Amino acid sequence: MRYLLIVITIGFSLSCQAQISWDEVDRLAADAQAQVVEWRRWFHENPELSNREFNTSARVAEILTGMGLEPSTGIAHTGVVAIIEGGKPGPMVAIRADMDGLPVTEETGLPFASVARGEYNGQEVGVMHACGHDTHMAMALGAASVLNAIKEDLPGSVMLIFQPAEESAPPGEEGGAELMLKEGLFAQSKPEAVFGIHVGINQPGGKLSVRSGPQLAAVDSFKLQVHGKQTHGARPWNGVDPIVVASQIVLGLQTIASRQVDVTQAPSIVTVGRITGGVRNNVIPDSVEMEGTIRSFDEAMRQQIHMRIERTARLIAQSAGASIEFELTYGAPATVNDPALTEKMTPTLQRVGGEGGLVSVQPQTVAEDFAFFAIETAGLYVFLGSGEPGQDPQTLPSNHSPLFDMYEPSMEIGVRTFSHLVVDYLLSSE
């Protein structure tokens, strides 16, 4: 009886999995490719800035409705969510794509290049999908069409998340993944896993790459006001020079990453990107303002760096008779690929990528608010090289460049990746 039970169990498992053929999934992805390219070009030609993705949201919802789905809109201002209900009971997994463009004037010369304009920080700017979010939406929609076509055989369901404001909400506004969660995205039905893909990131064209654990950095920003005492530039001893103090602070901050935190534990970066102060050559001003960015991969180290920035700046200022005001703004935490999920899905990525199609990747110091989803549930974030296969990715325009582009045939790999990850996960949960 014991041996009979084992034979029946194995037979049942194989019969369930046999109903979904990988060849069929790949055929559906190939059939969808022309439509995926068309979608991508529409999104590319019509980009919108963060929290302003009104037409983008409407187009995504229209496409999903055309598939017979019932999308919910207006989540975190312009987000769109839809559910593909499988024909068999099982868990829920999620696919996420971001929707916003950047305040970048496009210079690609593509026939579908953006000529859109928008307002950013009170200025009129060009708007471009310079980070590849147009391709992310198109690939997620392509995967939705594939999964919807085989939904009767899916043992579970799929949450499709189209997220606004990944590039951060405008000042004074909330947005992005954090706001979607705050508004209850996972409150009623939390997926067991969430998958995301990002194109570019200087990875080899057409190849997938992933790493277990921290893959993208946490990003925070700071603003420092250094207050001194204004005086004549010819008599600096009569005042307190905040420009000199600010210069010393910039140098002092560089010792945090190099001398004050454990560099063997995780990398970190403290960069001052702006200093403003003074009106003419012979006037020592009252104050200097500086702004900077902080990148880190470990949460405890992140908090330690914040404390050390303020302490270093304050003590340097005090030593010169100056004072500071310190303002810290939290951004996205580190994007961490769940180790167990990464191990589980690596064979899937190897199958999709083919021989040599899955490569290792170093931690990237850019940030992604996919991290908020990956804190709530197991997350896996995969890179897909955007260039033509065989080209050196270091020679191609990087993400956020006005020349950034996507080698469109590789989007089929993205559709297959999303589709295979979902199906493999659901089948393994039977």
Give the per-residue pLDDT at 429.
84
Q: With contact defined as beta carbons under 8 Å apart, do 144 and 69 qualify?
A: yes
Task: Give the domains, in start order, of the chain with CATH numbers.
Answer: 21-216+334-428 (3.40.630.10), 218-330 (3.30.70.360)
Strands 335-337 and 213-216: antiparallel
Rg, Å, the chain Cα set:
25
- For residues 205-240, one letter each, b for 16 or more C-beta atoms within 10 angstroms of the residue's C-beta and e for the rest, the string is bbbbbbbeebbbbbbbebebbbebeebeeeeeeebb
Q: What does the alpha-carbon distance between residue 176 and residue 36 come to, in Å, rounded to a whole number?
A: 24
Q: Which residues of 321-414 form beta strands (DSSP E)?
A: 323-330, 335-337, 358-359, 378-384
In the set 48, 53, 98, 166, the catalytic residue is 166
107 is catalytic: no
pLDDT tens-digit profile, the chain (430 residues)? 333 333 333 333 333 444 789 999 999 999 999 999 999 999 999 999 999 999 999 999 999 999 999 999 999 999 999 999 999 999 999 999 999 999 999 999 999 999 999 999 899 999 999 999 999 999 999 999 999 999 999 999 999 999 999 999 998 999 999 999 999 999 989 999 999 999 999 999 999 999 999 999 999 999 999 999 999 999 999 999 999 999 999 999 999 999 999 999 999 999 999 999 999 999 999 999 999 999 999 999 999 999 999 999 999 999 999 999 999 999 999 999 999 999 999 999 999 999 999 998 999 999 999 999 999 999 999 999 999 999 999 999 999 999 999 999 999 999 999 999 999 999 998 7
In the set 98, 100, 369, 412, the catalytic residue is 100
166 is catalytic: yes
Angle between helices 22-45 and 133-149 (to 10 degrees): 140
Q: What does the alpha-carbon distance between residue 83 and residue 64 come to, in Å, rounded to a whole number?
A: 10
| Amino acid sitting at position 170 | P
Give the per-residue pLDDT at 17.
46
Spatial CA neighbour of 140 closest among 189, 215, 71: 71
Q: What does the alpha-carbon distance between residue 33 and residue 140 come to, in Å, rounded to a whole number?
A: 12
Q: Would you give the DSSP letter of residue 299?
A: H
Phi, psi values for residue 55, rounded to 5°: -70, -35
Give the per-residue pLDDT at 259.
95
**pTM (two decimals):** 0.91
